[in-house]
Every structure is written in structure tokens, then in C-alpha cells.
């Protein structure tokens, strides 16, 4: 893949040698996947799968411990009227509130639940001067170390988009590597690293593909579209592009990397379009929390509403429901 010692020149040659994206073809494929139909009998299962894949998120300057506790309660019991409703994959908060989330989860916290042979809820913390990423490396690493020490199971870092767009690829690579190392706990276990590309600021599909490959080469456990803080976030073509990268990486190396679209996915229809895209691109084995997440704050309410309709049989009478 990368022959010889890693230098700025070799990394640049590799990334700029990646074939350009056929934007028309990519958008047509995404549009085709987005107009698939699913049986109404499968819709309830799809909605449950969506719930299991959600990172329930609050990332506001006005966040309080009480708000995080409420978020955790929602993740544990999304629908109090239905005990069969699955729990969410994770809650995503600022690093200074990670400890609050861990405490609120209690026995539902992923490491505790896993020790008891059950599926728990992870705590994800944004770090590295989220959302701008404009800080020194020392500050970014301290941000990560603080969140990991507070009990975060996952770190969502942002890349330095200015460095990337300036062609300083090795700087971005080294920063991801350093953050990955900072995710290591004293006991040798690692917090999983999600690398946020902020595709809306990368502007082009070519840049997004290069950034995806750069993050994967540097050791990302997940690649994530966005912070949710810019106008353009998780479009279906962009998610498709990133899924193609992790699929190709798996074919080359046998290593599986996850994908997390975040920002802008607000309805169950949008979420199911993403499930179809995952299954048709990377494969159904990616439809699990360790390999695919949906970062959202408002999506869950619509999914629960649609789930209640599906559970009570209030369909339109058709055998299939379109997802466009």
C-alpha cells in the first residue's frame, strides 16, 4: 500500500493517486438506493435496528449534568410504554460530562454490562477542540486523555481541516496516530477512535475520499462524516462514498472500520435509507453497533413514532413501503 518509510511525499503521492470520484455516478447510486422499497413486515425490524445503532447526542454549550442524565435515561428506556424496545448504542457528550454519563448509566454502561454478558450502552465523548479542531496538539491530547480518564469508551476527534486542505497530509496523519495512542488506558485497553472529517468543509467528494483513506491508514476505528455544526452534514452520497472506502479497505487488509453519518438524519425514512446503503455497499455484517452508527439528537422521536405505528398495525394497507 504505502511502500517504504512514511514521509509527507510518499503519503501525498498515495492520496493524490487515488482515482477521482465520479460525482454523477455516486449520486445516482445513492439516489437509487434511497428509493428502494421494503416489506411492511420488515419495517418494524428495520426500526429496531436503527434504534440499536443510534448515538444519542447532546453537544450544546448549555448542556448540564441534568440534561445528560435525561439523555441517558432516554437511551436506556427509549419507549417506557414498550419494554421490548431496544436500547441505544451510545450517548455522545462533551468530555467534561462523560463522567456524568458513566455514572448515570450504572450497570447499563457498556463495560459493566459486557462483564455480565449483556449488551450495554457506550459513552462517546467529543474531543480535540471539537468542533473546530483549532488548538495545539498538546491541548488536543490533553482533551482526549481527560475524557478517557473520565470513563469515555469512545472518542470522536475532529481532523485539522485547514492542514488537510493545505495538503499537509502527514501532519493530519500524525495527529490521528497521536490521538489513537492517547485513547489507550493504563490497563492496555483502548477507547475506540472515531475520526470526524467534517465533509461539509472539505467541499468535494475527492477531498472526502482522500480524507477517509487518510483516517483509515492512520488507524481510525470509525470514520465519521460531520460534527453536526456546519450546514452540510451526512448526505447519503457522502455516506455511500465512505462505506465504499471501508469496504475496499477490508478487501485489501481484512480489517473492518466503522462508519458514522452524523448531522441531518432526522426521520426514520432517512435512517432506513442509510441501512439499505450499508447492506448494499459494505454488507449486512456492518449493520451492528461496532461498525455502523447514526449520530442524532432528534431522530429517535420519529423512529419511536413510526415503531408504534408499525407495532399497532396502522399501515397504509400496502405490502411495501417506499423509503424515499
Structural element, H or E, at residue 248: helix 236-253
Residue 73: its pLDDT value, please? 98
How many helices and strands, by DSSP H and E, does the chain display? 14, 10
Cell of 113: 454490562
Q: Measured between alpha carbons, how far is 228 from 232 in angstroms, rounded to an integer? A: 8
Q: Measured between alpha carbons, how far is 182 from 128 in angstroms, rounded to an integer? A: 11
Q: Among 224, 270, 273, 302, which one carries the catalytic annotation?
A: 224
Residue holding cell 434511497?
Answer: 34
Cα distances (Å, whole numbers) of residue 144 to 123, 137, 152, 153, 172: 13, 11, 9, 11, 16
Inside any domain, residue 219: yes
Question: How many alpha carbons fall within 13 Å on the CB side of residue 115?
Answer: 6
**Is 156 considered catalytic here?**
yes
Inside any domain, residue 174: yes
Structural element, H or E, at residue 211: helix 205-218
What CATH number does the domain containing 182 carry? 3.20.20.70
Residue 3: its pLDDT value, please? 65
> Which residues constitute the domain of residue 276?
37-312
Inside any domain, residue 32: no
Asked whether the beta carbons of 180 and 193 are under 8 A apart, the reply is yes
Cα distances (Å, whole numbers) of residue 291 to 5, 19, 144, 294, 318: 30, 25, 22, 11, 33
Look at strands 192-196 and 154-158 and give their pairing: parallel
Long-range contacts at 133-141 (CB < 8 A, ≥ 24 apart): 133/158, 133/159, 133/160, 133/161, 134/160, 134/162, 137/175, 137/178, 140/175, 140/179, 141/178, 141/179, 141/182
Query: Both ends of the chain: CA-CA distance in Å?
Result: 39
Inside any domain, residue 173: yes
Residue 262: its pLDDT value, please? 95
- Per-residue pLDDT in tens (0 to 9) along the chain, 324 residues: 676 678 889 999 999 999 999 999 999 999 999 888 776 668 889 999 999 999 999 999 999 999 999 999 999 999 999 999 999 999 999 999 999 999 999 999 999 999 999 989 999 999 999 999 999 999 999 999 999 999 999 999 999 999 999 999 999 999 999 999 999 998 889 999 999 999 999 999 999 999 999 999 999 999 999 999 988 788 999 999 999 999 999 999 999 999 999 988 999 999 999 999 999 999 999 999 999 999 998 999 999 999 998 777 654 333 333 333
Inside any domain, residue 84: yes
| DSSP string of 215-229, one letter each residue | HHHHT-SEEE---S-
Q: Among 143, 156, 160, 270, which one carries the catalytic annotation?
A: 156
Q: Among 260, 270, 273, 302, which one carries the catalytic annotation?
A: 260
Domain count, the chain: 1
Q: Which of 273, 259, 265 is nearest to 302 (CA)?
A: 265
Structural element, H or E, at residue 15: helix 8-16
What does the radius of gyration of the chain's CA atoms come to, in whole angstroms? 19
Cα distances (Å, whole numbers) of residue 293 to 124, 174, 245, 266: 12, 25, 16, 14
Q: At what angle do helices 299-312 and 40-52 cross, to 10 degrees?
A: 150
Asked whether the beta carbons of 121 and 88 are under 8 A apart, the reply is yes
Residue 5: its pLDDT value, please? 78
Inside any domain, residue 7: no
Residue 56: its pLDDT value, please? 97
Cα distances (Å, whole numbers) of residue 306 to 32, 267, 272, 292, 301: 23, 9, 12, 21, 9
Inside any domain, residue 25: no
Inside any domain, residue 287: yes
Residue 41: its pLDDT value, please? 66
Q: Measured between alpha carbons, how far is 73 from 217 in angstroms, rounded to an integer? A: 37
Write out pLDDT tens, residues 36-70: 877 666 888 999 999 999 999 999 999 999 999 99
* pTM exceeds 0.85: yes
Q: Measured between alpha carbons, how far is 164 from 121 in angstroms, rounded to an integer? A: 33
Amino acid at each position: 500500500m504505502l511502500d517504504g518509510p512514511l514521509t509527507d511525499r510518499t503519503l501525498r503521492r498515495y492520496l493524490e493517486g487515488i482515482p477521482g470520484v465520479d460525482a454523477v455516478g455516486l449520486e445516482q447510486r445513492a439516489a437509487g438506493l434511497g428509493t428502494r422499497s421494503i416489506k411492511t413486515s420488515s419495517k418494524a425490524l428495520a426500526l429496531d435496528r436503527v434504534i440499536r445503532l443510534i448515538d444519542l447526542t447532546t453537544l450544546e454549550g448549555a448542556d448540564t449534568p441534568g440534561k445528560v442524565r435525561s439523555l441517558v435515561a432516554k437511551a436506556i428506556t427509549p419507549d417506557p410504554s414498550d419494554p421490548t424496545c431496544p436500547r441505544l448504542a451510545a450517548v455522545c457528550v462533551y468530555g467534561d460530562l462523560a463522567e456524568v454519563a458513566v455514572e448515570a448509566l450504572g450497570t447499563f454502561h457498556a463495560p459493566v454490562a459486557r462483564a455480565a454478558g449483556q449488551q450495554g450502552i457506550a459513552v462517546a465523548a467529543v474531543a480535540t477542540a471539537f468542533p473546530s479542531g483549532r488548538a495545539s496538539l498538546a491541548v488536543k491530547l490533553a482533551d482526549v486523555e481527560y475524557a478517557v480518564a473520565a470513563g469515555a469508551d469512545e472518542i470522536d476527534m475532529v481532523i485539522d481541516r485547514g492542514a488537510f486542505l493545505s495538503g499537509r497530509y502527514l501532519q493530519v496523519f500524525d495527529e490521528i496516530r497521536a490521538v489513537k495512542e492517547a485513547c489507550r488506558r493504563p490497563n492496555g485497553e483502548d477507547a475506540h477512535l472515531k475520526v470526524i472529517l467534517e465533509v461539509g468543509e472539505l467541499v468535494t467528494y475527492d477531498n472526502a475520499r482522500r480524507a477517509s483513506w487518510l483516517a483509515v491508514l492512520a488507524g481510525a476505528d470509525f470514520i465519521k462524516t460531520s460534527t453536526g455544526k456546519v450546514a452540510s452534514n451526512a448526505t447519503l452520497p457522502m455516506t455511500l462514498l465512505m462505506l465504499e472506502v471501508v469496504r475496499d479497505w477490508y478487501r485489501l487488509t481484512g480489517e473492518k472500520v466503522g462508519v458514522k453519518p452524523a448531522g441531518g438524519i432526522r426521520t426514520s425514512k432517512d435512517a432506513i435509507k442509510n441501512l439499505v446503503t450499508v447492506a448494499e455497499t459494505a454488507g449486512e455484517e456492518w449493520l451492528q453497533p461496532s461498525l455502523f452508527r447514526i449520530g442524532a439528537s432528534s431522530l429517535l422521536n420519529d423512529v419511536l413514532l413510526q415503531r408504534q405505528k408499525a407495532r399497532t398495525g396502522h399501515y397504509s394497507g400496502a405490502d411495501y413501503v417506499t423509503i424515499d
